[in-house]
Amino acid sequence: MILLTGGAGYIGLHTAAVLIGAGHEVVLFDNFSNSKPLGVERLEAIAGRPVPCVQGDVRSRQDMDGLFDQHSISAVVHFAGLKAVGESAEQPLRYYDNNVTGTLVLLEAMIRAEVRRIVFSSSACVYGDPDFSPVPESAALRPANTYGRTKLMVEEILRDLHIAAPDWSIALLRYFNPVGAHPSGLIGEDPNGIPNNLMPFVTQVAVGRRPELRVFGGDYPTPDGTGVRDYIHVMDLAEGHRAALDWTLCDPREVLAANLGTGCGYSVLDLVKAFERASGQAIPHRIVARRAGDVAANWADPSFAGQRLGWTAQRTLDDMCRDAWNWQRQNPRGFA
Ligand code: NAD
Ligand code: UDP
C-alpha cells in the first residue's frame, strides 16, 4: 500500500487517481487544513470504489505511528505541507513547523516502520531566480523565499538521511507550475480565498467570481513583457509521481532530484489567450505593477526525468486550459 500524505489536496487527489488506475493500493492521510472531504468522495467516484483516508497531522508522532501500525505501507508520497509564498513570509515558523518538522516526524515514523522509499514534493522555488532557462537540476539552489527554503531544507535532510542510511530510495520532484484538472471535471484546484496563482484566478474570472485579472508586470524582458513560466498539466505531474514511485519500488537506493515540467515557457498573456480559446469566455485583464519577488522567466529542462524515470509531459497548454475550465465550470464554487 502507498501512503499519500496530503493526499486530499490538489496534486494528491490527481496522483491518487493515476496510482489507483495503475493498480496501486493507496491510503490518503490529511489534516484537511487546505482541502475538503468532498474531494476524497469525488476521487472515490473516479476510482469506482472506496479510497481509505485517515484524518491526522504529519507533525503528530501518535498519528503517524498509528497509521503505519494499521496499514502495511511500502512507500510514501509526501505532499503534506503549506505552499503559499506570501504567507510563508508572514508566518515563517508555521511554515518551518508544517513543512520541516512535519517531514522529520514522518521520517522518524518511517524508520520505526522500516519503510525506506519516499517521493517528496519539492518545487522549482528551490532555484529562486535562475541564471538561465531551461533550468537543469544542476542549477544553483538559492530559494528566494521562506517557502522555497523549507523545500530545500527537506531536500537536504533527505540527502543527509541517505548518507546515514544508504538503503533508502528517495525521489525529490521539483514541480514547475501545476495547472489543469482531471478530465472528468470531478476534482481540480480549489484554493481558499483569493487565488495567488494565475490559472485559478483566470478560471474564477471566467465563472464571474472575480471581475478581472491583474497581470503583474508588462515590462519584463520577455517577448510580450509579461512573466514566462512552465505550466504543467496536473495529470502529467501525477504520471510523473507514478514513474518516480515505480522507480523507488525497484529499490535503486539512491537520491534522485528531477524537474517535473514541460520544457516550454508561456507568458501570462499566452495563457490568457489559450484559456479564452479553450473556454470561449473573454477574460478581462489589465496590466499592473510587478508583484514583489516574481522572476521574469523560468522554465524547466525536464530531460533528466525523461532519461531516469522514462517520463515526459504529454499535454499541451490548450489541454490544461480546457480541463481547468471544465472543472471550474462544473464546480463554480470548488468543493464548497
Ligand atoms: P494542497 O494544499 O492542495 O495539498 C496539500 C495537502 O496537505 C492539503 O490537503 C492539506 O490539508 C494537507 N496538509 C498540510 N499540512 C498538513 C499536515 N501538517 N498534516 C497533514 N496534512 C497536511 O497543495 P498541492 O498544490 O496539492 O501541493 C502538494 C505539495 O506539492 C505541497 O507540498 C506543495 O508545497 C508542493 N508543490 C505545489 C506546487 C503547486 O503549485 N501546487 C508547486 C510546487 C510544489
Ligand atoms: N500572475 C499574474 N496575475 C495573477 C497571478 C499571477 O499576472 O493574479 C503572474 C505572475 O506574476 C507570474 C505568473 O502569473 O508571472 C505565474 O504566477 P503563479 O503565482 O501562478 O506562479 P509562480 O510561478 O509565481 O509560482
30 domain-assigned: yes
Contact 71, 3 (CB under 8 A): yes
Predicted local distance difference test score (pLDDT) of residue 323: 98
59 lines ligand 1 (CB under 6 A): yes
β-pair partners for 229: 266, 298
pLDDT for the residue 292:
85
Return d(Cα 206, Cα 197) in angstroms, integer.
15
* CA gap 272, 29 in Å, rounded: 35
pLDDT at position 121, please?
A: 98
The string of pLDDT tens digits covering residues 227-268 is 999 999 999 999 999 999 999 999 999 999 999 999 999 999
Residues 128-154, mean pLDDT to the nearest whole number? 96
- Flag whether 308 is in a domain: yes
Instruction: Work out the average pLDDT over 179-193.
Output: 96
Pocket of ligand 1 contains residue 102 by CB under 6 Å: yes
Of ligand 2's listed atoms, the one at least distance from the Cα of 85 is 25
| pLDDT tens-digit readout, 76-124 | 999 999 999 989 999 999 999 999 999 999 999 999 999 999 999 999 9
Ligand 1 within 6 A of 267 CB? no
**Average pLDDT in the chain:** 97
Percent of the chain's residues with pLDDT above 70 = 100
pLDDT band at 149 (very low <50, low <70, confident <90, very high): very high
In-domain check, residue 114 = yes
Q: Whose CA is nearest to atom 29 of ligand 1?
A: 79
Instruction: For residue 17, give the amino acid letter.
Output: A
Nearest alpha carbon to residue 230 among 138, 136, 104: 136
Cβ atoms 230, 264 nearer than 8 A: yes
Task: State the CB neighbour count (10 A cutoff) for residue 167.
Answer: 9
Per-residue pLDDT tens for 263-296? Answer: 999 999 999 999 999 999 999 999 999 998 888 9
What is the CATH classification number for the domain harbouring 129?
Answer: 3.40.50.720
Catalytic (active site) residue 147: yes
pLDDT at 293: 80
Q: Which residues line ligand 2 (CB under 6 A)?
A: 177, 196-198, 201, 213-216, 227, 229, 268, 291, 294
Q: What is the pLDDT of residue 95?
A: 98
Domain presence at residue 190: no
Q: What is the pLDDT of residue 242?
A: 98
Domain that holds residue 65: 2-180+230-262+299-314
Residue 334, domain member (yes or no): no
Residue 159 predicted with pLDDT over 90: yes
DSSP line for 104-132: HHHHHHHHHHT--EEEEEEEGGGG-S-SS
N-terminal to C-terminal alpha carbon distance within the chain = 30
pLDDT band for position 9 (cuts 50, 70, 90): very high
Helices (H), the chain: 10-21, 37-47, 61-70, 85-90, 92-95, 102-113, 146-164, 198-206, 234-249, 268-279, 303-309, 317-330
Q: Is residue 325 part of a domain?
A: no
Helix axis angle for 268-279 and 317-330, nearest 10°, is 60
In a domain, 187, yes or no: no
Instruction: Provide the number of structural domains found in the chain.
Output: 1
From the candidates 10, 127, 147, 175, give the one annotated as an active-site residue.
Answer: 147
Question: Residue 217: inside a domain, yes or no?
Answer: no
Beta carbons of 181 and 326 less than 8 angstroms apart: yes
Residue with CA closest to ligand 1 atom 34: 83
pLDDT, tens digit (0-9, with 9 covering 90-100), for 13-23: 999 999 999 99
Residue 195 beta carbon below 6 angstroms from any ligand 1 atom? no
